[in-house]
Amino acid sequence: MKLLSKSVNLNSNRGLSYNKMKNWYGNLVKPRTIPPPYKHITQIGDPTLRLKAQPVDVDTIKSVKVQKIIKQMRDVFEKYNSVGLAAPQIGVPLRIIAIGFSNGVMKQWSAEEIQARDMTLLPFTIVINPEVKITDYNKLVFPESCESVKGYWADVPRFKAVNLNGFNQNGEALNLETKGWLSRIIQHEMDHLNGTLYTDIMNRKSLTCGGWEIINERNGSVNLPYKPS
């Protein structure tokens, strides 16, 4: 009986040793988390998306640290084919946004949609410590999505026109008078700097999974990548 008891204890010890060894090997192959600024866009649930972003010291705009963040924002913006991006979306709680509306993006919309949404072109623009003044208090409701709420869209009311001012990546004062779709983009990105997502202000019953039809057609066998291939 003692021998049997001893044998059981040995097996138990081996089990613990095996688990420890398995965890050790697992840690060896576990991907290393790279600190921000990320090369991907974070998703709803990431605490940084709910923080009130801090202003950038204007004297540091040309510093290596801030310029690295700006470069990473541009790289991610272009990789995701975005029209707007806020620094918190790459894990950096600073008041920096990137906006732009290119010909390539414009071509994705019909002439009727472009007119209805009052879409206009804007080259890639970095705005540091942005401030917004509403210049037209009429609100327009259109579907809106966000790379940080991947796969969904909803109807969101936004002011029709805003004035945007701040500093560009060279520390120079910047001022933009915008209306229509550009105003919507700016308001969306400003929300990010204040820890707000469009899901907080959307018409709740309009929330839609953008791929619901494909999901049904493929019996649920659909992969949703969180980073462009």
Task: Tell me how far apart the alpha carbons of residues 96 and 36 are, in angstroms, rounded to a whole number.
Answer: 14
Q: Is residue 16 part of a domain?
A: no
For the chain, percent of residues with pLDDT exceeding 90: 85
The question of whether 189 is a catalytic residue gets the answer yes
Residue 61 burial (C-beta neighbours within 10 Å; 0-12, 13-18, 19+):
buried
Token readout for 207 is 């929330």
pLDDT at 17: 65
Kindly report the CATH number assigned to the domain that includes residue 84. 3.90.45.10
Question: Could you say which of 112, 113, 131, 189 is catalytic?
Answer: 189
Provide the domain count of the chain. Answer: 1
pTM, rounded to two decimals: 0.86
pLDDT at 32: 72
Token readout for 52 is 């009130």
Residue 208 burial (C-beta neighbours within 10 Å; 0-12, 13-18, 19+):
middle
Q: Is residue 20 part of a domain?
A: no
pLDDT at 34: 86
Q: Is residue 90 part of a domain?
A: yes
Q: Is residue 91 part of a domain?
A: yes
Q: Which residue spans within 79-227 are E strands per DSSP?
A: 84-86, 96-101, 122-145, 152-167, 173-179, 208-209
Q: Is residue 64 part of a domain?
A: yes
User: Which stretch of 10-24, 112-126, 165-179, 191-205 has the lowest confidence by average pLDDT?
Assistant: 10-24
Determine the average pLDDT of the residues in 109-118: 98
User: Which stretch of 19-28, 162-171, 191-200 has the lowest confidence by average pLDDT?
Assistant: 19-28
> What phi and psi, each to the nearest 5 degrees, are found at residue 126?
-95, 135
Q: Is residue 6 part of a domain?
A: no
Q: Is residue 137 part of a domain?
A: yes
Domain that includes residue 166, residue range? 47-217
